[in-house]
Amino acid sequence: MFTRLREDIRTALRRDPAARNAWTVLTYPGIHALVMHRLAHAMWNMPWPSEVWKLGARIVSHIARLLTGIEIHPGARIGRRLFIDHGLGVVIGETAVIGDDVLMFHGVTLGGTSAEPVKRHPTIGNHVMIGMGAKIIGAITIGDHCKVGANAVVNRDVPPNCTVVGVPARIVMRDGLRVDIEAPAMDNVTNRVDPQDEVIREMRQRLELLEQHIEKLGRQLADHADVSQSEQAVKKP
């Protein structure tokens, strides 16, 4: 436990320019959350009596959330040298898997899209950077050495050595080269269709119908005005 703690402290000193010494790092909520998660994860995987240990693990996880603002499910598997910078609002689901040397900023969500007790949370590769507010949703895989931009919403697999940004996320860099033509991330059957596309298409159709109706009413009003003027001209002596 102390070996991993020393490793976490060295990682924070290397990654955070605001970290002046080890005592400063020990005040970081990300460090507190990782230490408590390791305890909760060990309790979660105890063989017997499993339900009692799982309840204890959830209590430890809940205390960690109250103290740090970081919610990590006890079942999540986290690799070595994860650094959660600031950390407020980070949510990591039960079946999430995080590799080694991952950098994660505040507001990140590793969420699920299924209510079934299956693998429903993301798998994050090694040496991945996840920007502030990013949402990675579903049982997808983020490849090694990837970067996820701030506030990006990723719902499809991302191959290694890529940078993704936007809502929904799209690849803008691959293997160090800029992708000029928009290249969507690798397809994912569960999230193949963006539900917002259909909504936007229906709204455009309704706007076109409204524009046509307004144009028709304008012509009718103009014709009525012309007729009224003609009648008034006829009535004049």
pLDDT tier for residue 103 given thresholds of 50, 70 and 90: very high
96 compared with 230, residue with greater pLDDT: 96
Task: Say if residues 129 and 117 touch (Cβ distance below 8 Å).
Answer: no
Q: CA-CA distance, 135 to 128, in Å (whole number)?
A: 14
Task: Say if residues 190 and 113 touch (Cβ distance below 8 Å).
Answer: yes
pLDDT > 50? residue 189: no
Q: CA-CA distance, 143 to 126, in Å (whole number)?
A: 8
- Strands 170-174 vs 162-165: parallel, antiparallel or unpaired: antiparallel
- pLDDT for 225 equals 75
- pLDDT for 188 equals 47
Task: Give the chain's mean pLDDT.
Answer: 87
Using only C-alpha atoms, the chain has a radius of gyration, in whole angstroms, of 27
Beta bridge partners of 129: 103, 147
- pLDDT for 12 equals 92
- pLDDT for 195 equals 63
HSE at residue 183, side-chain half, CA atoms within 13 A, is 16
Query: Dihedral sign, CA of 20, 32, 134, 100?
Result: positive
Global pTM? Answer: 0.71
pLDDT tier for residue 154 given thresholds of 50, 70 and 90: very high
